[in-house]
Amino acid sequence: MYKVIIIDDEPIIVEGLQKIIPWEKWNCNVEAVAYNGVDGLELISRVKPDIIISDISMPQMDGLSMIASVKSQFPNLEIIILTGYRNFDYARQAINLGVTRFLLKPSKMDEIEEALTFITNQLGEKKEETSALPNDEENEQDQEQEEHTEENPAGKFIVKNAVRYIEEHYQEKLKLSDVADQVYVSQWHLSKLLNRHTQQNFSEILNNVRIEKARELLKDPALRIGDIAEEVGFLDIAHFSRVFKKQVGKSANDYRNTVLCKK
């Protein structure tokens, strides 16, 4: 049986999908339901379904972020979006992130049935291909799939959002876990994605942002270097000085003198 999770903030929609669709026709079973994206992600991680049917506009989470998180971590998961949100660009982005079908409410039953037929056929073909492989080849295929997933649009979407969050919150006592929470993936998974897409780890990205901001502030001779270090998020000037010199090639004071001399 293929495991299904339904995620929608309208209970009447969830109940309707559970009762009206003859799930056994597609060898499916509704394993769990959720009424917001956060709970939905928790269920997906725990249940590991084959198919999710979800709205894209729900409380507590942006729908595109949820899709990116799901497809980044579970690349073989099939997604049907069922929504009243009529925005072509949003639909295009959702499909680019890996959504199999994007259906508008109220959807006709034949649209949902077509989506389920297509998806279960795909799942069946994948299962046959995998079962025909020797164990060694199956493990190699899994590894290739994982590498491909980290490079696909879902991974890029997550990294883009993570870097943007770092750029907006660099002044805070920021940890990798804080950023991972914002993009709805684990610390381990985010760390992998950052390294693959930027060739830098979290600390390097954060320090780069902070030092670039510091370089701008150093152009103002009225600001003390210690105050600048604190302003850009460093807890002590010694750490700031080490990082600045490593990245810029000279001390903050020498850099300031060079910049001011050019004026």
Q: For the chain, which residues make up each domain, given as ranges?
A: 2-140, 204-261
Give per-residue pLDDT as tens, 119-145.
999 998 888 777 776 765 555 555 555
Residue 99, judged by CB atoms within 10 A of its CB (0-12, 13-18, 19+), counts as: buried
Please report, for residues 164, 170, 244, 247, the alpha-carbon distance to residue 210 in angstroms, rounded to integers and kept in the order given.
Answer: 13, 6, 9, 11
Cβ pair 184, 69 in contact under 8 A: yes
Question: ω into residue 106 within 30 of 0, thus cis?
Answer: yes
2-140 CATH choice from 3.40.50.2300, 3.40.640.10, 3.40.50.800, 3.40.50.1110: 3.40.50.2300
204-261 CATH choice from 1.10.10.60, 3.40.50.2020, 1.10.260.40, 3.40.50.10540: 1.10.10.60
Give per-residue pLDDT as tens, 50-100.
999 998 877 777 778 889 999 999 999 999 998 887 878 888 889 999 999
pLDDT in tens, the chain (263 residues): 999 999 998 999 999 999 999 999 999 999 999 998 889 999 999 999 999 999 887 777 777 888 999 999 999 999 999 888 787 888 888 999 999 999 988 888 999 999 999 999 999 888 877 777 676 555 555 555 555 545 579 999 999 999 999 999 999 999 999 999 999 999 999 999 999 999 999 999 999 999 999 999 999 989 999 999 999 999 889 999 999 999 999 999 999 988 767 65
User: Measured between alpha carbons, how far is 101 from 87 in angstroms, rounded to an integer?
Assistant: 15
Prediction pTM value:
0.82
